[in-house]
Amino acid sequence: MLIQRFGAAAAAVLCGVLCLSGCSHKENTGAGFQFTCTLEQNPDCLDPQFTDNPYAAAVLANTMEGLMRLDAAGNPVCAEALNYAVSKNGLHYTFTLRDDCYWYNAQSDPDRLERVTARDYVFAFKRLVDPGQYSPFAEDFACIRNASAITAGEMGVDALGVTAPDASTIEIELSYPEPDFLALLARSCAVPCNQLFFESTKGRYGLDDETVLCNGPFYLTKWVYDQYGGGNFITCRKNMKYHDPDEVFPSNLQFNIMHSREEAAADFAEGNSDIFFTDTYPKDYTDSKDYIIQSYRSQTLGLIFNLEKSRTRNENFRQALARSIDRSRMSSLLTEDMQAAYGIIPPGVTLLGRSYRELYADEQTAIPYQPKRARALFDEAAQDMSLSSSSMQILVPSTVLDTDALLSVCQGWQDLFGYYIGIETVSPEEFERRIRDGEYSIALWTLQPENNSCDAALDKVLDDCAVFGADPEAFTAVFAAPDKTAQRSDSVALYGEAEKQFLETCCFIPLLYKNAYMVMTAGNEDVRYDPFTGAVSLRDAKHFQ
């Protein structure tokens, strides 16, 4: 799934680069080009409150806009909000809407457009928390007053702390201070929804080009998809009724829709697109001046264990493996694609404008390297299990190309314990099947947050507890504690403590932080890619030939 996410994103940004074709060249500004991007798969649905599909995120990032958006530095700034005010206790937000924001699609009459109003935002937020809508983002907005009770079915949606005193004013009441609330409002799921249009689609909202209504810098003009055929695409055009059209640089966008990660990669290699996203090290492009490569350490790779099997269920055995990993030795074998990992939260996650790992060193979270203690624990485990009778394998997806460091870990175990653990490489599809069916003893698992936040990283751990064999209830309170602090700086140590408590179970042993990549043809600038969600923003994208 993670690999697909990057592929989608990759495809999404591919769009960002194929500005080479068919547009007039404004050499001084880089504006006026059509950007073509290849998506790995079809977005399936473009309902912002419902879809968490990364391919949809690539399109929605360009066709929809909320109260806030993120600037080039990742800071929330006003988008459809003209201004806002926050109460001293951080519980009351008041937003004033711009009066020049309109709903638009291919069927719109430019002279008879409907304005985006505060009521559209109220309706959207009610959809987010309505248990009948099954939004995957409901928990993300639990900070809004009564949101959790509504999602649990204990209150009706009208009790939500989001109101519209008039068409231009939105008031949001929180149950507790959320330091990242403005950034939360910049996400695609927090965009408005026109209730009359939504109801007119009769359950098909966001499923085709006739049931999509846009308010962003681009609007969707055509969506063609046949799951059995080729020539699938989504086209978007610059929205001249956007509130700031002069700051939108591309003239058009096209998303070519493929059927696989391999097809998307080939599309870029053949010169049909200008931007490619991948979590595989792009060695074919690293030595060429014709390409620009940007990397993001957004994944944490670690060992998981099948707790249905007696050997890996033994906690002493897992503790022995964890305490015998010399990450300093492992580091010397790593390429730039990876670095040794001690904690859960990858370095690509930012907090207070910096990498979280710069604020809280991950060495403080990991089980320490203690070979003597590890040997004693292994001997205790060996008394309960016939470890000498057979070896075991670490299941690894074939997308992980650099396995030298993992082999060195296995060699260290053999030297210390006299017990052989090898590596079995399988396709991503076979990897997922084997994990699902329990056909493994140890596997190399990828943890990637669903958005750029420490909370999302910990939430992903809770989501994966079923795979790890851990009880999520045992960690819910400690994982939630950092999000309840009034000042975000107060949460830094709490995140580290949450990581440490979970890692002590040795259900997940972090080994590597791995890169995701955006590869662009030279001459393209200001394409913004979010490797966590798959969103690709092309509003500011420029091409200089």
pLDDT by residue, tens only, the chain of 545 residues:
333 333 444 444 334 433 334 444 445 789 999 999 989 899 999 999 999 999 999 999 999 999 999 998 888 999 999 999 999 999 999 999 999 999 999 999 999 999 999 999 999 999 999 999 999 999 999 999 999 999 999 999 999 999 999 999 999 999 998 888 999 999 999 999 999 999 999 999 999 999 999 999 999 999 999 999 889 999 999 999 999 999 999 999 999 999 988 899 898 999 999 888 888 899 899 999 999 999 999 999 999 999 998 888 899 999 999 999 999 888 889 989 999 999 999 999 999 889 999 999 999 998 999 999 999 999 999 887 765 556 789 999 998 878 899 999 999 999 999 888 999 999 999 999 999 999 999 999 999 999 999 999 999 999 999 999 999 999 999 998 998 787 888 999 999 999 999 999 999 999 999 999 999 889 999 999 999 999 999 999 999 97
Structure tokens at 139: 């928990």
Which one, of 221, 220, 218, 222, lies nearest residue 245 by Cα? 218
218-226 LR contacts (CB < 8 Å, sep 24+): 218/62, 218/63, 218/248, 218/250, 218/253, 218/538, 219/63, 219/104, 219/105, 219/106, 219/108, 220/46, 220/59, 220/63, 220/105, 220/106, 221/106, 222/106, 225/42, 225/257
User: Rounded distance, CA 350 to CA 342, Å?
Assistant: 17
Question: In one letter, which amino acid is 515?
Answer: N
Domain ranges (residues) in the chain:
1-63+216-290+522-545, 65-202, 297-515
User: Rounded distance, CA 67 to CA 78, Å?
Assistant: 6
Cross-sheet strand order for the sheet of 218-224: 34-39, 252-257, 232-238, 218-224
Secondary structure, 3-state, 259-279? CCHHHHHHHHHCCCCCEEEEC
Q: For domain 65-202, which architecture applies?
A: Alpha-Beta Complex (3.90)
Structure tokens at 135: 């939004």
Please tell me the number of Cα atoms within 13 Å of 107 on its side-chain side.
6
- Domain 65-202 in the same topology as domain 1-63+216-290+522-545: no
Note whether 220 and 511 are within 8 A (CB). no
Q: pTM to 2 decimals?
A: 0.86
Note whether 374 and 320 are within 8 A (CB). yes
Q: What are phi and psi of 165, to 5 degrees?
A: -60, -30
- What three-state secondary structure class fits 441? coil
Domain 297-515: give its CATH code. 3.10.105.10
Structure tokens at 445: 């698992």
Domain covering 1-63+216-290+522-545, topology: D-Maltodextrin-Binding Protein; domain 2 (3.40.190)
Which one, of 504, 509, 479, lies nearest residue 494 by Cα? 479
Residue 24, phi-psi category: left (phi > 0), alpha (psi -120 to 50), beta (remainder) = beta
Residue 44, phi-psi category: left (phi > 0), alpha (psi -120 to 50), beta (remainder) = left
CA distances in angstroms from 514 to 232, 367, 506, listed in the order given: 32, 20, 20
